[in-house]
Amino acid sequence: MTVYAIIGGTGLTQLEGLTISAALNVDTPYGAPSAPLLRGDYAGREVLFVARHGHPHRIPPHQVNYRANLWALKHSGAEAILAVNAVGGIHPAMGTGHFCVPDQVIDYTSGREHTYFAGELDHVTHVDFSYPYDARLRELLIAALAAEGCAYSGQGVYGCTQGPRLETVAEIVRMERDGCDIVGMTGMPEAVLARELELPYASLSLVVNPAAGKASGVITMAEIERALGDGMDQVKAVLARVLAA
């Protein structure tokens, strides 16, 4: 039976309902993960959980040690990754509270450690990243969202920005022109590192605010926190359905 790992983002620094059997402090060649890996039972399945931003939420997106997180999960037995991401909505369908299971990504980040294939290498390695998200995991997430009666889109382009600041209106105009449907700060290099480790990976993205210029007024943290509070119960229910399936 597949051992799933859940990567919790903003709003999901701990997984309520997880019966913890061990907290693993994994030493990796890339430094320490964001937080101890939690091994336990969730929805009747063995899972691994890591809080991407640490617990408490303290690591900004551009300083997350993505390489350590993914390496630690792989070497602790993870066989597939379900990533939870809080995002802004660019496409008109992506209103606050809407879910997206992206099928493509555009990487606008810079300066992040984005590959395991660096340094003194025996040979150059390229991975195919044409389709960055695992098709089967996406199907499971889509089926779970439908069963839970959530508002969702079964595809979309995730635009990943550097952060920690939010985007300008002009940047969102550019991203919309590029074809982005949602915008977040943590989708990359996480997805490509999973591919390099041959870990199936998919994202459950929750829209927590309209992107810059997509609503009147400025974006407030209070608005985002309300959306996170409202959406996390649905996130947990969707994850439980995927695991039960």
Torsion of CA 221, 225, 231, 237, to 10 degrees: 130
Does residue 123 have a known ligand-binding role?
Answer: no
Does residue 115 have a known ligand-binding role?
Answer: no
Beta partners for 81?
5, 201
Does residue 185 have a known ligand-binding role?
Answer: yes
For residues 229 and 6, the answer to whether their CB atoms sit within 8 Å is no
Helix (H, G, I), strand (E, B) or coil at 152: strand
Does residue 10 have a known ligand-binding role?
Answer: yes
| Structural Rg of the chain based on CA atoms | 17
Does residue 61 have a known ligand-binding role?
Answer: no
Tokens of 55: 């617990």
Q: Spell out the alpha helix ranges (H) of the chain.
A: 66-75, 135-147, 169-178, 190-196, 221-244
Does residue 232 have a known ligand-binding role?
Answer: no
Does residue 210 have a known ligand-binding role?
Answer: yes
Numbered residues of the known binding site for substrate: 185, 209-211
Pick out the residues of the known binding site for phosphate: 10, 52-53, 186
Binding site: residue ranges?
10, 52-53, 185-186, 209-211
